[in-house]
């Protein structure tokens, strides 16, 4: 593996020798002002002049790829960075398994590849748009900085996808790149492409749940695309995954710190019953049942991103060698799956049951299963915190049939345990499972900014360690 140095001299930092690629360099330079306009219009509201202690990628060596410094966000060096090319890499799965990976787009798969890149690309600016109001209510400068770090990196992920479109897809790639700047999260006329990316992120608990659950969908998709036989896509996704890990860290530790603070406050006040919501809320912390409801909401919205359980598109993309499975390279079957089956949860005679389906058609289901397992790891850590306080409460993922809008279970109403409910029962119990207006109002009432270094809002504990090993009193954002 050779590690290409990053060229920081031009307008667009890159390790793809953009200086020698005049056509693509020009296309990206032409796209750049529109991107900056989008960032100024739709990026973090009210903090564009502030100095934020951000990491910027300066290389793609996993051991030391980032440097930290104060940056005004519109001046962040968004660049095009691909993981190093692996000598002799072969297509790892599908009908072309074992052939050399493609360095150019294979004509027969062009439309499929473009679609996958555009869909991935569309999610990146969408989350920045969804989170743009949160700076104003940040519970600390540390958290504000983490929010902005996630935001600038989602911006860079957009650059990553736009580079692929500009470089490999000619005129229609350029059109798609423009359209990525035109759609808007939640807009009635020009929404973002996927449902969860048009929802609101109104408060910081939502933000942490979003980065925990929805950025983790991003991780799964990137892992599957990192296996691609189209090598530039694989290399792009491999580097994006390095950044993505931080987004999930923000989500997981954010929720952990909220739980920690709630449990501490309950203990100090001598409250043993986690369901005594009125009393817990009077302490200025978020009660555990409300945290559970937020998890139910974000988990179920994110499951919809995996698409239908049975999918010809997914089968085609795998068969073609374009999109693999989660960590395909660690699996030990034939990587072609033409004669295999996979158990899929389906609705059969009104009951939720497993049924074997052809493995190729069931790839969305399989990726979703891997996702659920990955979600459960961090939830185990949340529960350890609750347990350490001796509070009888456990955060649980709802059943995959709960609150679904896409796929097998979109036709039914199920409770969090996966029992099918009559419509009337669902309406009556919905507020037990999902945040109600009162829950939202309560959380909103807590969203008061805390901009003094080393201080934190009442409802969240400080982190165990600072970013870049900075001490507690460090001023992560100098607000201008
Ligand atoms: Fe991203
Ligand atoms: Fe992300």
Q: Is the pLDDT of residue 195 over 50?
A: yes
How far is the C-alpha of 194 from the C-alpha of 150, rounded, in Å? Answer: 19
Residues 126/127/128/133 CA torsion (nearest 10 deg): 110
pLDDT at site 281:
98
CA of 233 to the centre of ligand 2 (A): 17
> β-pairing, 351-358 with 66-72?
unpaired
Tell me the torsion sign for CA atoms 243, 247, 253, 257: positive
Ion ligand 2 contact residues with beta carbon within 5 A: 215, 218, 244, 247
Q: Which ligand is nearest to the CA of 246?
A: 2
158 CA to middle of ligand 1, Å?
A: 8
Dihedral pair phi/psi, residue 51, rounded to 5°: -95, 120
Which residues make Cβ contacts (< 8 Å) with residue 5, sequence separation at least 6? 15, 59
User: What is the arithmetic mean of pLDDT over 345-361?
Assistant: 94
Cα 411 to ligand 2 centre (Å)? 30
Q: In this predicted model, what pLDDT tens digit does every residue of 203-245 receive, in sequence order?
A: 999 999 999 999 999 999 999 999 999 999 999 999 999 999 9
3 state SS for the chain: CCCCCCECCCCCCECCCHHHCHHHHHHHHHHHHHHHHHHHHHCCCCCCCCEEEEEEECCCCCCCCEEEEEEEHHHCCCCECCCCCCCCCECCCCCCCCCECECCCCHHHHHHHHHHHHHHHHHHHHHHHHCCCHHHHCCCHHHHHHHHHHHHHHHHHHHHHHHHHHHHCHHHHHHHHHHHHHCCCCCCCCCCCCHHHHCCCCCHHHHHHHHHHHHHHHHHHHHHHHCCCEHHHHHHHHHHHHHHHHHHHHHHHHHHHHHHHHHHHHHHHCCCCCCCHHHHHHCCCCCHHHHHHHHHHHHHHHHHHHCCCCCHHHHHHHHCCCCCCCCHHHCCCCCCCCCCEEEEEEEECCEEEEEEEECCCCHHHHHHHHHHHHHHHHHHHHHHHHHHCCCCCCCCCCCCCCCCCCCHHHHCEECCCCCEECHHHHHHHHHHHCCCHHHHHHHHHHCCCCCCCCCCCCCCCCCCCCHHHCCCCCCCEECC
Q: What is the pLDDT of residues 147-160, one digit of tens each?
A: 999 999 999 999 99
DSSP per-residue string spanning 325-339: -TTGGG--S-S--TT
Q: Which residues on neighbouring strands pair with residue 57, listed in sequence order?
A: 66
CB atoms within 10 A of CB 226: 23
**pLDDT score recorded for residue 338:** 95
What's the CA-to-centroid distance between 185 and ligand 1, angstroms?
A: 15
Q: Please tell me the distance between residue 205's alpha carbon and the centre of ligand 1 in angstroms.
A: 19
Q: How far is the CA of 421 from the centre of ligand 1 (A)?
A: 36
How far away, in angstroms, is 378 Cα from ligand 1 center?
20
Give the Å distance between the CA of 233 and the centre of ligand 1: 14
Give whole-number Cα distances, 402 to 61, 224, 313, 418, in Å: 42, 25, 24, 6
Ligand nearest to the backbone CA of 244: 2
The pLDDT tens digits of the residues spanning 161-178 come to 999 999 999 999 999 999
Ligand 1 centroid – CA 218 distance (Å): 6
- Do the beta carbons of residue 156 and residue 78 sit within 8 Å? yes
For residue 150, give the ligand nearest its CA. Answer: 2
Distance from residue 74's CA to the centre of ligand 1 (Å):
18
* Ligand minimally distant from the alpha carbon of residue 222: 1
pLDDT at 350 (0 to 100): 86
* Residues 356-370 pLDDT 10s: 999 999 999 999 999
Instruction: Using the mean position of ligand 1's atoms as its centre, give its distance from the Cα of residue 288 in Å.
Output: 29
Report the pLDDT averaged over residues 277-296.
98
């Amino acid at each position: 593996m050779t590690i290409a140095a990053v060229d920081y001299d031009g307008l667009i930092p890159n390790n793809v020798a953009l200086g020698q690629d005049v056509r693509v360099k020009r296309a990206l330079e032409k796209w750049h002002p529109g991107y900056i306009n989008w960032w100024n219009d739709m990026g973090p509201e009210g903090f564009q002049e502030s100095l934020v202690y951000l990491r910027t990628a300066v290389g793609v060596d996993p051991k030391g790829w980032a440097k930290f410094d104060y940056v005004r966000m519109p001046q962040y060096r968004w660049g095009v960075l691909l993981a190093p090319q692996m000598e002799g890499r072969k297509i790892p799965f599908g009908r072309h398994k074992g052939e050399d990976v493609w360095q150019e787009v294979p004509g027969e798969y062009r439309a499929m590849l473009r679609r996958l890149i555009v869909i991935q690309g569309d999610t990146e600016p969408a989350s920045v748009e969804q989170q743009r109001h949160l700076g104003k209510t940040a519970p600390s400068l540390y958290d504000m900085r983490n929010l902005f770090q996630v935001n600038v990196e989602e911006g860079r992920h957009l650059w990553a996808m736009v580079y692929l479109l500009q470089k490999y897809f000619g005129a229609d790639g350029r059109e798609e790149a423009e359209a990525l700047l035109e759609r808007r999260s939640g807009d009635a006329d020009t929404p973002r492409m996927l449902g969860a990316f048009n929802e609101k992120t109104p408060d910081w608990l939502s933000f942490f749940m979003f980065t925990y659950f929805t950025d983790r969908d991003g991780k799964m998709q990137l892992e599957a695309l990192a296996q691609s036989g189209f090598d530039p896509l694989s290399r792009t996704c491999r580097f994006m995954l390095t950044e993505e890990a931080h987004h999930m860290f923000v989500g997981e530790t954010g929720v952990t710190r909220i739980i920690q603070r709630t449990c501490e406050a309950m203990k100090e006040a001598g409250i043993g019953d986690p369901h005594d919501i009125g009393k817990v809320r009077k302490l200025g912390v978020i009660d555990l049942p409300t945290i559970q409801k937020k998890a139910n909401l974000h988990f179920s919205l994110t499951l919809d991103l995996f698409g239908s359980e049975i999918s010809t598109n997914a089968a085609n993309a795998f068969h073609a060698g374009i999109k693999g499975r989660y960590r395909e390279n660690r699996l030990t079957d034939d990587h072609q799956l033409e004669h295999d089956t996979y158990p899929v949860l389906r609705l059969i005679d009104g009951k939720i049951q497993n049924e074997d389906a052809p493995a190729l058609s069931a790839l969305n289901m399989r990726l979703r299963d891997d996702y659920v397992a990955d979600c459960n790891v961090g939830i185990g850590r949340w529960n350890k915190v609750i347990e350490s306080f001796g509070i009888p409460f456990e955060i649980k993922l709802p059943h995959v049939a709960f609150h679904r809008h896409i796929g097998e279970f979109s036709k039914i109403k199920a409770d969090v345990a996966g029992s099918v409910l009559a419509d009337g029962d669902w309406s009556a119990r919905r507020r037990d499972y999902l945040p109600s207006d009162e829950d939202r109002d309560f959380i909103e009432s807590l969203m008061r900014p805390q901009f003094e270094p080393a201080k934190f809002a009442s409802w969240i504990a400080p982190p165990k360690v600072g970013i870049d090993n900075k001490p507690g009193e460090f001023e992560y954002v100098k607000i201008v």
